[in-house]
């Protein structure tokens, strides 16, 4: 496939996807549909260029979230990071009675060179600080190359996928889940961390350069 044909297909839904209920969360040309976590317009620290939504290095753009909230969903996002980068995509992002604004994070990391790579539940594809991915099944492409992450949430069941392979599955509220949360930094959150019914999708800005494209979601 040529670069021209690739540029024509990113940030666009096929007829089949549209028929199946998929919608784009990023139109490829603007930050429409996104805000800061405080509800303000997306700042200049985020750049929309060449069909990509990019957190600029040193831009201090902060995290951005969808204006809409989602409960049961299938979310797919392409991402590309620079070496040593730490980022993530959060879901069920909302304000907790105790703990403030929080979301459950699909971790994005340079597993080899990033500083925060010493814990298995901090590596790419993990439910950050709670549950690790199955490393034996993980096939992550190096920084500078595109990866496709996917999160499927149905009821209390959640799946993390990477490049077409499921690398983590868990049940919110199960013993395994509650024990893992109790060992995490989210142990004192109220109501119990992750047990909310709906929330926003969040793209994390953590200082490094990360680009996103083909951000699409299907309500289930």
For 138-167, write each residue's pLDDT tens digit.
999 999 999 999 999 999 999 999 999 999
| pLDDT tens-digit readout, 41-59 | 999 999 999 999 999 988 8
Residue 171 near residue 159, CB atoms below 8 Å: no
CA angle 51, 13, 2 (to 5 degrees): 55
Output the pLDDT for position 5. Answer: 40
Give the separation between CA 17 and CA 10, rounded to whole angstroms. Answer: 13
State if pTM tops 0.85: yes
What is the pLDDT confidence band of residue 172, given thresholds at 50, 70 and 90?
A: very high
The distance of Cα 182 from the centroid of its chain, to the nearest Å, equals 23
Question: Does the pLDDT value for residue 3 go beyond 80?
Answer: no
- The single residue listed with the structure tokens 């799946």 is 159
Q: Edge-to-edge, what's the strand order for the sheet holding 100-109?
A: 34-36, 64-66, 200-203, 86-96, 100-109
Would you call the peptide bond into 191 cis, given omega within 30 degrees of 0 as the criterion? yes
DSSP symbol at 206: -
3-class SS string, 124-150: CCCECCCECCCHHHCCCCCCCCCEEEE
| Residue 103: C-alpha distances to residues 77, 82, 89, 131, 203 (Å) | 17, 24, 9, 14, 11
Mean pLDDT of the chain: 95
- The single residue listed with the structure tokens 């790579």 is 117
Mean pLDDT of 168-187: 98
Question: Does the pLDDT value for residue 122 go beyond 90?
Answer: yes
| pLDDT tens-digit readout, 123-142 | 999 999 999 999 999 999 99
Residue 153 tokens read as 């949430």
Residue 209 tokens read as 């350069």
Output the pLDDT for position 40. Answer: 96
Question: Does the pLDDT value for residue 191 go beyond 90?
Answer: yes
What are the structural domains, with CATH classification, of the chain? 3-219 (2.60.120.560)
What is the pLDDT confidence band of residue 192, given thresholds at 50, 70 and 90?
A: very high
Q: For the chain, what percentages of helix, strand and coil (3-state, to nearest 5) are there?
A: 10, 40, 50
Give the separation between CA 123 and CA 131, rounded to whole angstroms. Answer: 10
Question: Does the pLDDT value for residue 13 go beyond 50?
Answer: yes
Q: What percent of the chain lies above the pLDDT cut of 70?
A: 96
């Amino acid at each position: 496939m040529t670069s021209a044909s690739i540029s024509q297909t990113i940030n666009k839904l096929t007829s089949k996807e549209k028929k199946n209920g998929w919608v784009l969360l990023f139109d490829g040309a603007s930050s429409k549909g996104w805000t800061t976590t405080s509800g303000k317009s997306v700042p200049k620290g985020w750049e929309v260029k060449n069909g990509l939504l990019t957190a600029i290095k040193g831009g201090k753009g902060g995290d951005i979230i969808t204006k809409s909230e989602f409960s049961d969903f299938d979310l797919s996002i392409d991402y590309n990071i620079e070496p040593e980068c730490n980022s993530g995509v959060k879901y069920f992002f909302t304000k907790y009675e105790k703990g403030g604004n929080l979301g459950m994070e699909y971790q994005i990391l340079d597993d080899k060179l990033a500083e925060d790579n010493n814990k298995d539940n901090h590596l790419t594809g993990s439910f950050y600080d709670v549950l690790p991915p199955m490393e034996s099944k993980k096939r992550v492409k190096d920084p500078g190359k595109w990866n496709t992450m996917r999160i499927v949430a149905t009821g209390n069941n959640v799946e993390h996928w990477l490049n077409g392979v499921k690398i983590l599955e868990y049940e919110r509220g199960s013993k395994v889940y509650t024990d893992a949360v109790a060992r995490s930094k989210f142990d004192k959150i109220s109501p119990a961390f992750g047990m909310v019914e709906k929330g926003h999708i969040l793209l994390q800005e953590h200082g490094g350069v990360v680009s996103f494209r083909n951000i699409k979601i299907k309500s289930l």
